[in-house]
Amino acid sequence: MKETFLKQGFAKFPSFIDSEEVARIGLIYDEILEDLESASHLRSDLSGEGTVGVEKITQIMCPSSISTNLKKSKTYKQALKQAQHLLGSDMALDFDMLINKRPYTDTPTPLHQDAAYWIKMPDKRAVSCWIAIDPAIEENGCMWFIPREKLEVVPHSAAIPGAALSCELSTEQAVCIPLKAGGATFHDGFTPHFSKGNTTEFHRRALILNFRPKAMIDLERSMGIDHQGERKVRNK
């Protein structure tokens, strides 16, 4: 898995957490998702269209700052261990987020590279662990990745101010990664990815943890970046 990740920028981990842990995380997830008040400053609609209550793709940044039980969970410990295995023992949790695609909202997450959202860093190592809390399939918005070669960011922009960033690249080589609940993918900041809309009657809940070298997190924080603010292109 490490070899695949380093070569193409992403890898699949079919059984990352067990069903009991999925259920535990799922309960915390739903509490945060349903609580419109405490998370309001961390919450937005990736589609750029919705307001709270009619969201299509709900993104809640730093859920572990709302429920401290998340950070203590097996999931967070295991994801950190895996990130360190993939990229080195200095990897630490930079930020986490929930992304939920509501039933029948049919709104894709556009093709992008995560590094477009981040400042340019001297040490480019970073890995996102995307954990399926519900089964993820093409029809509800599982992840698609394009194998990457270079550690470079192409130009990005947002279709609507405040919406998710997108870029223009061919998706001919994109690989669809369905997962059962508890499965995960790992991708780096340069790997282009997207997901299709949710056309099913069920929610598509994903929990995402991002790791990078501790020194780079310190650099970000010294520049006031904590991943809780405005969504925009930073990698200029």
Ligand X SMILES: O=C(O)CCC(=O)C(=O)O
Closest contact distance (angstroms) between CB of 174 and ligand X is 13
- Return the number of the residue (45 or 114) whose C-beta is nearest ligand X: 114
Closest contact distance (angstroms) between CB of 204 and ligand X is 8
Q: Which residues contact 62 (CB under 8 A, 6 or more apart)?
A: 42, 95, 96, 97, 226, 227, 228
User: Residues for the chain: how many in total?
Assistant: 236
Secondary structure letter of residue 13 according to DSSP: E
Q: Which residues contact 224 (CB under 8 A, 6 or more apart)?
A: none
In the complex, which residues of this chain contact ligand X (CB under 6 A)?
99, 109, 114, 128, 130, 141, 193, 195, 206, 208
- Return the number of the residue (89 or 119) whose C-beta is nearest ligand X: 119
- Return the number of the residue (89 or 232) whose C-beta is nearest ligand X: 232
- Return the number of the residue (75 or 109) whose C-beta is nearest ligand X: 109
- Return the number of the residue (66 or 116) whose C-beta is nearest ligand X: 116
Closest contact distance (angstroms) between CB of 141 and ligand X is 5
Give the count of alpha carbons within 13 A of 110, CB side only. 17
* Of 57, 19, 105, the residue nearest 205 (C-alpha): 57
- Return the number of the residue (141 or 213) whose C-beta is nearest ligand X: 141
Closest contact distance (angstroms) between CB of 35 and ligand X is 20
Closest contact distance (angstroms) between CB of 136 and ligand X is 9
Tell me the C-alpha distance between 166 and 185, whole Å. Answer: 20
* Of 151, 122, 153, the residue nearest 217 (C-alpha): 122
Closest contact distance (angstroms) between CB of 109 and ligand X is 4
The encoded tokens of residue 33 equal 């998702």
Q: Is 55 helix (H, G, I), strand (E, B) or coil?
A: coil
